[in-house]
Structure 1
Amino acid sequence: MDIRLLKYFIAVASEQSISAAAQYLHLSQPSLSRQLGELEKELGAVLFTRGNRKITLTDEGRFLLKSAKDIVELVDKTEANFKQTSSFISGEIYIGAGETEAVQLIARTFKSLLEKYPDIQFHLFSGNADDISDKLDSGLLDFGIVIEPADKQKYDYVKLPAVDVWGVLMRKDSELADRPFVEPADLTDKPLLISRQTAVSNELSGWLGQDIEGLNVVGTYNLLYNAALMVEEGIGYALCIDKLINTSGNSKLCFKPLNPGLEANLNVIWKKHQVFSSAAKKFLEELRNQIRI
């Protein structure tokens, strides 16, 4: 499958118009139409439904779009890391992280790295541990920051000198707000918002002493900022980690730690037997230096 055709397909899917995509790609409309026809013939599938004003993707087209974006991104990433000379270190580093204060350590690492190698460029992807693992496995990320436990049969790792503390985000006028901490029995009848991460659900189920799905879960979240807005509106209590949402001053929210305490260690992980670019190698060296400081 020609990578060039995949880029053409992505452009048409984005523009929802062959003529607009042809203009964007600096191609003639007949040429683009012909090449899209070749792609459909190669795959043995109809990718577009052609309407009077715009075209839409078929089910097969939507399936291809996700894969095509990942393939093109991986090719672009690989090419970028080859566009360097032996006389200096350059290239791109792709790292994924969930919401954690430990990203400050990654920021310090990048700052120090860029002072030494200003031609390096980094790309941050925000997502939960499941999202990050998927992208690591497909080669779209070099590194991921995840809460333990990580699959140590599958990944190598560096343990970060940081610990996330679990608790409950709630309104300051809520029933539990005057308590110093939250215990499992306090949540049995409360509307809850929980993270969609598989590992997190397992950890919280262990703390609660029961399957989390047996509680009154009114919603799930991927990243915490939007969930905090739901909490602010009184929809429920969010099980989350501390120091991600500002609860000081005029904030309507407060954070209460769990009792017994539940903490999560953090690791930077990468695929076993990973072949790093020179930029990624330097990042890992600098990260280890920053941990030792």
Structure 2
Amino acid sequence: MELRVLRYFWTVAVEKNISKAAKILHITQPTLSRQIKGLEDELGTTLFNRDAQQLTLTEDGLFLKERAEEILVLSENTERSFQEKRDRLLNGHFSIGCVEADNSDTLAMMLEELVSDYPQVSFNIVSATSEEIVAKLDKGLLDLALLLEPVEMKEYETIKLPREERWGLLVSPDSFLAQKTRIEPGDLKGIPLLSSSRKEIQLMLSKWMGEPWENMNIIGTYNLIFNVFSLVENRVGSALTIEGATTNRDSTRTTFVPLYPELTTTCLLVWKKNRMHTPVITELIRRFRHAFEA
């Protein structure tokens, strides 16, 4: 399977039209049609449902589109990395994954300094859940990641950032819990709660509560906190979260109350062990080490 043909397929999948895709790819429509048919023959499956209006992906087509995106991004990243190594200049492009956290400001500060010193450097920040970020890191689609503990880190190099992330309960201002200065385990008895879907976080909160997870009144789980702000505002439930994920929200619509005994976690800058880095990634890691491991 050639990368060129994968790119042809991906373009057709996005445009849903052979003619439009052919114009974008600067090849003739019959040539593109033959390439797609040849790919289907090679894989032994039908990738598109064909009708007069547009092309739609079959189940196998959807699967290949997802894999094609990963392969094409990885191919582009690899070519870019070799180009940067040839140049041996700090002028490359990199991608970094980032969870919702107060330490996002730390990352922004480090990137600001790097780009100020090396204006030819560019970057892409990917916001997602820890699981999604780690998956992309493993596949080489991300160079670095900013993750929130607890995280299994056996296969990664890490730098611990100094600013701790404080856990608490995000509640509606109309809730009686909003009048408290702190939330203790007993305060959550019977309270409808929204919690992270990460098992590591659930285990940590269960230990803090002193209760099995199944005994807590968890009415819903989430992967990114912005999805549940309206649920908290409308008093559907109160969300267990870190303070840093709520700092840019309108404080008149929700209230953050810290947990007591205090529960904190730290953020980690993470990258895959034994992976060769471009000069720009090496420089960024060096700056983090200098700032936070001195």
TM-score band, normalised by shorter chain: over 0.9
Letter of the 2:232 counterpart: V
Q: Is the 8 A contact 1:106 1:287 kept in 2?
A: no
Residue 233 (structure 2) aligns with? 232
Letter of the 2:177 counterpart: L
TM score, norm. by length of structure 1? 0.93
Change (3 A) 1:174 1:121: same
Aligned counterparts of 1:132 and 1:116: Cα–Cα separation in 2: 27
Q: Is the 8 A contact 1:112 1:286 kept in 2?
A: no
Residue 153 (structure 1) shift: 1.9
TM score, norm. by length of structure 2? 0.92
Aligned counterparts of 1:181 and 1:260: Cα–Cα separation in 2: 9
Deviations 1:38-63 (A, max 9, x none): 11111111111112212211111111
Q: Does 1:215 find its partner at 2:199? A: no
Aligned counterparts of 1:181 and 1:254: Cα–Cα separation in 2: 11
Letter of the 2:180 counterpart: R
Q: Is the 8 A contact 2:160 2:267 kept in 1?
A: yes
Q: Matches of residues 35-114 of structure 1 in structure 2 within 5 Å?
A: 35-84=35-84, 85-86=86-87, 88-114=89-115
Q: Which moved more, 1:81-90 or 1:255-264?
A: 81-90
Residue 186 (structure 1) aligns with? 187
Residue 183 (structure 1) shift: 2.1
Letter of the 1:195 counterpart: S
Deviations 1:93-120 (A, max 9, x none): 2111101111211111111211222211
Deviations 1:127-181 (A, max 9, x none): 1211111111111111111122332321111111111001111111113111121
Change (3 A) 1:83 1:206: same
CA RMSD across the alignment: 2.0
Residue 289 (structure 1) shift: 2.6
Residue 282 (structure 1) shift: 0.8
Letter of the 2:258 counterpart: P
Q: Look up the SS of the partner of 1:83 in the other structure.
A: helix
Letter of the 1:109 counterpart: M
Q: Matches of residues 104-143 of structure 1 in structure 2 within 5 Å?
A: 104-143=105-144
Deviations 1:168-206 (A, max 9, x none): 111111131111211223223222221222322221122
Deviations 1:205-226 (A, max 9, x none): 2222334344333322222223
Residue 292 (structure 2) aligns with? 291
Q: Does 1:264 find its partner at 2:272? A: no
Gaps of 5+ in 2: none
Aligned counterparts of 1:292 and 1:154: Cα–Cα separation in 2: 20
Change (3 A) 1:37 1:211: farther
Change (3 A) 1:76 1:190: same
Aligned counterparts of 1:49 and 1:247: Cα–Cα separation in 2: 45
Q: Does 1:253 find its partner at 2:247? A: no
Change (3 A) 1:87 1:152: closer
Residue 275 (structure 1) shift: 1.0
Aligned counterparts of 1:198 and 1:185: Cα–Cα separation in 2: 22
Q: Is the 8 A contact 2:149 2:268 kept in 1?
A: yes
Q: Look up the SS of the partner of 1:255 in the other structure.
A: strand
Q: Which moved more, 1:79-88 or 1:154-163?
A: 79-88
Deviations 1:239-289 (A, max 9, x none): 110033248876221001112211001111111111111111011012223
Aligned counterparts of 2:128 and 2:18: Cα–Cα separation in 1: 33
Aligned counterparts of 2:244 and 2:18: Cα–Cα separation in 1: 48
Aligned counterparts of 1:128 and 1:143: Cα–Cα separation in 2: 14
Q: Is the 8 A contact 2:101 2:148 kept in 1?
A: no
Q: Is the 8 A contact 1:82 1:91 kept in 2?
A: no
Letter of the 1:70 counterpart: E
Deviations 1:32-84 (A, max 9, x none): 11101111111111111112212211111111111111111111112222334
Q: Is the 8 A contact 2:100 2:244 kept in 1?
A: no
Q: How many equivalent residue pairs?
A: 293
Residue 25 (structure 2) aligns with? 25
Q: Which moved more, 1:275-284 or 1:17-26?
A: 17-26
